[in-house]
Amino acid sequence: MMNTDQVLYRLKSGNERFVSDKLDGKLQNSSRRGELTSGQEPYAIVLSCADSRVVPELAFDTGLGEIFVVRVAGNIANTSSIASIEYAVAHIGSPVIVVLGHESCGAVTAAVKGGDNGYNLNHLVSHIQPAIAASADGASVNEVVKENARRTANDLQERSSIIRKAVQDGKVKIVPAYYNLDSGKVDILG
């Protein structure tokens, strides 16, 4: 298993290939499928929005079994997404979690606009409200998206003893990031 620096380098390199239209397309064939029948060892976990324009496996130029992707609108830390990530941390040992927000996120846009979106969507966007509250008055949707990724990265530790212990023990690093729709570039957020 790679360490966190090696994983981040691999993700950044894959994203550079994606941005420059030089995908290597490795580990996507029947041979690779066969290799994975006995188990998985993804080197990264990605909590991404469900937006169809943001596909982590492509954005990081990865093949089968390389990244463990959890997708939910607004890349929020809800009970189900946290439980999925806990599984990957506790049972697979992936050393990096990327929380991937993206430009023009519809869930963040809905949260910023407010109003009644029905029971389920109202519940989902309630997870984004803290990012809105922490953003400057009049902040753009994209500024709120970035704040939401940072806050979600923090929420993963605050709401999960499994993830928090792995971070404290130096076994996992959580990285908030932002996907640019036009270029495909992923920016790591501070």
Q: What per-residue confidence (pLDDT) applies to 60?
A: 98
pLDDT at residue 126 in the model? 96
Average pLDDT, the chain: 96
Q: What pLDDT shows up at residue 184?
A: 98
Q: What is the pLDDT of residues 11-22, one digit of tens each?
A: 999 999 999 999
Task: Give residue-wise pLDDT tens across range 90-113.
Answer: 999 999 999 999 999 999 999 999
Secondary structure (DSSP) of 88-157: IIIII---EEEEEEETT-HHHHHHHH-S---HHHHHHHHTTHHHHHHSPTT--HHHHHHHHHHHHHHHHH
Between the two ends of the chain, the Cα-to-Cα distance in Å is 25
What values do phi and psi take at 67, rounded to 5?
A: -130, 145
pLDDT at 145: 98
Mean pLDDT, rounded, for 42-63: 97
Q: Please give the structure tokens belonging to residue 144.
A: 């709120």
Instruction: Say whether pLDDT at 25 is over 80.
Output: yes
Backbone angles phi, psi at 134, to 5 degrees: -85, -15
pTM higher than 0.85, yes or no? yes
**In this predicted structure, what is the pLDDT of residue 43?**
96
Q: For 154-178, how does the pLDDT look when each residue is reduced to its tens digit (9 = 90+)? A: 999 999 999 999 999 999 999 999 9
CATH architecture for the domain at 4-22+41-188: 3-Layer(aba) Sandwich (3.40)
Q: What is the pLDDT of residue 125?
A: 94
